[in-house]
């Protein structure tokens, strides 16, 4: 018998007993619980499901128990993930910037006090985090940040601004790159600060997008306070932490198919729904070829991802491969969006109004957002630069 078989049986029995039926349906964009002081449950079932999973530490199954996790080995965590996916169980707590990005950085660079203070609150969904990296003059050229923090003995005083900060208006804390030595060379004078946003010195302004929706904000710091004990890593060495955290972000984005919410139909299902088939074969040969190419590339990505995880032996990607997977997964996701709209024909053109069902109205939004994902976390061009430099060792 495989060593994980007994665990798998236990997991399946527990999930079947504890995951409410409604939490086994695909979630809409607003249905996943995001945690934090402003987080809302979409239903009583969503709350029950979250509370049961939190009790077991399965909001972050592979984190150690003392930090609020489930204490599972990478193999056990994978079994849980596989069985949740097979049974259609929703994530009880969305995989946000706390779980997927700051958490791993805290494990690597945090003091014991920082880990004990912040990790359990992420695991229990009590605190929602946002990422304060980009600024008006610092996106691809991230080391150009100007937001500064002055040392005032037991605390820092922060002044400046952060741009494109996703969900800052719903977050409680922000992890932030700040300049602590303006005289040092670009990368050398940066520190990594954890800042409580619930204070007067911080103002958050949502940025309205062309769609009328807004996930982005600009954050303004005017003499905001950050405690000294919330400096992550050494003073002026924040660039090392920042780069490592970006690798975790890129890993997250390379697993879009696992974390994505939104349209439930695959391109194949869309083809069956909208186009004519002869003996199960799509008659439009141009679209058929695009569909087959997409399916093959998606399968190749999933298998490569799996292989890379297994080879790393730690349940996470080798740092050098994160840019490749981020680049390929987000570019492929863009192709998926284009393909689905092409397969849907005129039914893929609706933004609002009658004549389109709710799934159809979701597709153009997902298509548009897929383009944003090739920019977030470092644009595709930046990923290609990193691959050229760090993976292929090409001359600059
Ligand atoms: C959906 C989304 C969510 C985001 N969330 C956050 C967040 O929560 N927190 C945060 O801090 N930031 C966030 N961002 C910002 C994101 O990190 C930046 O948009 C990204 O790094 C690009 O920076 P920029 O917008 O300033 O573009 P620029 O850096 O001005 O780039 C403009 C164009 O030039 C290209 N370019 C720039 N430099 C080079 C080069 N050296 N070689 C080749 N091409 C180059 C880029 O690829 C891009 O196409 C988010 C962005 C998006 C789209």
Q: What is the pLDDT of residues 108-130, one digit of tens each?
A: 999 999 999 999 999 999 999 99
Phi/psi of residue 336, nearest 5 degrees: -60, -45
Test site for ligand 1: of 140, 250, 333, 386, most ligand atoms within 8 A of the Cβ: 140
The bridge status of strand 216-227 relative to strand 155-162 is antiparallel
Beta-strand ranges (E) seen in the chain are: 129-132, 148-151, 155-162, 173-179, 190-196, 202-207, 216-227, 231-232, 277-278, 281-282
Distance CA 343, CA 326 (A): 26
Distance CA 100, CA 89 (A): 19
Task: Give the pLDDT confidence score for residue 379 in this predicted structure.
Answer: 97
Residue 135: active-site member: no
Residue 82 has pLDDT above 80, yes or no: yes
Over its C-alpha atoms, the chain yields an Rg (Å, rounded) of: 22
Residues with CB under 6 A from ligand 1: 130-134, 139-140, 164-166, 372, 375-376, 378-379, 381-382, 385
Q: Where are the alpha helices (DSSP H) in 261-379?
A: 267-274, 285-312, 322-344, 358-373
Name the percent of the chain lying above pLDDT 90.
Answer: 80
Task: Give the pLDDT confidence score for residue 258 in this predicted structure.
Answer: 60
Distance CA 13, CA 9 (A): 6
User: Which range (63-72, 233-242, 259-268, 295-304) has the least confidence?
Assistant: 259-268
Distance CA 132, CA 151 (A): 19
Structure tokens at 396: 């600059």
Average pLDDT of the residues in 165-194:
97
Closest Cα to atom 31, ligand 1: which residue?
A: 140
Residue 259: band (very low, low, confident or very high) from pLDDT cuts 50, 70, 90: low
**CATH annotation of 254-391:** 1.20.140.10
C-beta of residue 166 within 8 angstroms of C-beta of residue 94: no
First to last CA, the chain: 53
Residue 208: band (very low, low, confident or very high) from pLDDT cuts 50, 70, 90: confident
Task: Give the pLDDT confidence score for residue 390 in this predicted structure.
Answer: 87
Please name which of 372, 130, 162 lies closest in space to residue 245, comparing C-alpha atoms.
130
Distance CA 217, CA 220 (A): 10
Name the percent of the chain lying above pLDDT 70.
Answer: 95
As a whole number, the mean pLDDT across the chain is 93
Residue 180 has pLDDT above 60, yes or no: yes
Task: Give the pLDDT confidence score for residue 278 in this predicted structure.
Answer: 87
Within 13 Å, how many C-alpha atoms sit on residue 65's CB side? 4
C-beta of residue 153 within 8 angstroms of C-beta of residue 213: no
Which atom from ligand 1 is nearest to the alpha carbon of 377?
Answer: 17
Give per-residue pLDDT as tens, 336-388.
Answer: 999 999 999 999 999 998 999 988 998 998 898 899 999 999 999 999 999 99
Average pLDDT of the residues in 288-293:
95
Give per-residue pLDDT as tens, 6-28.
Answer: 999 999 999 999 999 999 988 87
State the DSSP code for 91.
P
Average pLDDT of the residues in 228-256:
94
Looking up tokens 């150009």 gives 144
Distance CA 361, CA 344 (A): 12
Class of the domain covering 128-241: mainly beta
Domain map of the chain by residue range?
5-94, 128-241, 254-391
C-beta of residue 84 within 8 angstroms of C-beta of residue 43: no
Closest Cα to atom 27, ligand 1: which residue?
A: 139
Neighbour tally for 86: CB within 10 Å: 10
Burial class (CB in 10 A: 0-12, 13-18, 19+), 166: middle
Residue 260 has pLDDT above 70, yes or no: no
Residue 320 has pLDDT above 80, yes or no: no
Distance CA 243, CA 319 (A): 10
Which atom from ligand 1 is nearest to the alpha carbon of 166?
Answer: 8
């Amino acid at each position: 018998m495989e060593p994980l078989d007994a665990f798998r049986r236990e997991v399946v029995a527990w999930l079947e007993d504890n995951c409410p039926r409604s939490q086994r349906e695909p979630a809409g964009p607003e249905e996943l619980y995001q945690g934090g002081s402003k987080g809302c449950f979409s239903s009583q079932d969503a709350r029950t499901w979250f509370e049961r999973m939190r009790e077991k530490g399965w909001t972050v199954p592979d984190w150690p128990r003392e930090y609020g996790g489930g204490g599972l080995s990478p193999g056990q965590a994978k079994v849980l993930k596989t069985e949740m996916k097979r049974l259609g169980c929703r994530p009880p707590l969305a995989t946000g910037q706390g779980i997927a990005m700051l958490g791993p950085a805290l494990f690597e660079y945090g003091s014991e006090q920082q880990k004990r203070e912040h990790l359990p609150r992420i695991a229990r969904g009590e605190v929602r985090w946002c990422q304060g990296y980009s600024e008006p003059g610092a996106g691809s050229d991230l080391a150009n940040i100007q937001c500064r923090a002055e040392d005032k003995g037991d605390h820092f005083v922060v002044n400046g601004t952060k741009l494109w900060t996703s969900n800052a208006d719903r977050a409680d804390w922000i992890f932030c790159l700040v300049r602590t030595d303006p005289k040092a060379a670009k990368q050398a004078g940066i520190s990594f600060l954890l800042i409580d946003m619930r204070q007067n010195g911080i103002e958050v302004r949502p940025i309205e997008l062309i769609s009328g929706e807004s996930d982005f904000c600009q954050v303004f710091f005017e003499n905001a306070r950050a405690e000294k004990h919330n400096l992550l890593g050494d003073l002026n060495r924040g660039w090392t932490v920042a780069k490592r955290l970006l690798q975790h972000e890129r890993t997250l984005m390379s697993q879009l198919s696992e974390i994505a919410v939104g349209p439930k139909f695959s391109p194949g299902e869309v083809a069956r729904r909208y186009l004519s088939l002869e003996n199960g074969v799509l008659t439009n040969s141009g679209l058929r070829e695009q569909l087959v190419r997409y399916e093959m590339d998606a399968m190749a990505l999933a298998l490569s991802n799996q292989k890379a995880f297994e080879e790393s032996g730690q349940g996470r990607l080798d740092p050098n491969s994160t840019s490749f997977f981020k680049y390929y997964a987000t570019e492929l996701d863009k192709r998926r969006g284009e393909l689905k709209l092409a397969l849907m024909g005129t039914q893929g053109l609706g933004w609002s109004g009658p004549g389109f069902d709710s799934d159809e109205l979701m597709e153009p939004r997902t298509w548009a957002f897929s383009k944003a994902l090739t920019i977030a976390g470092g644009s595709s061009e930046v990923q290609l630069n990193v691959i050229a430099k760090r993976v292929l060792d090409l001359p600059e």
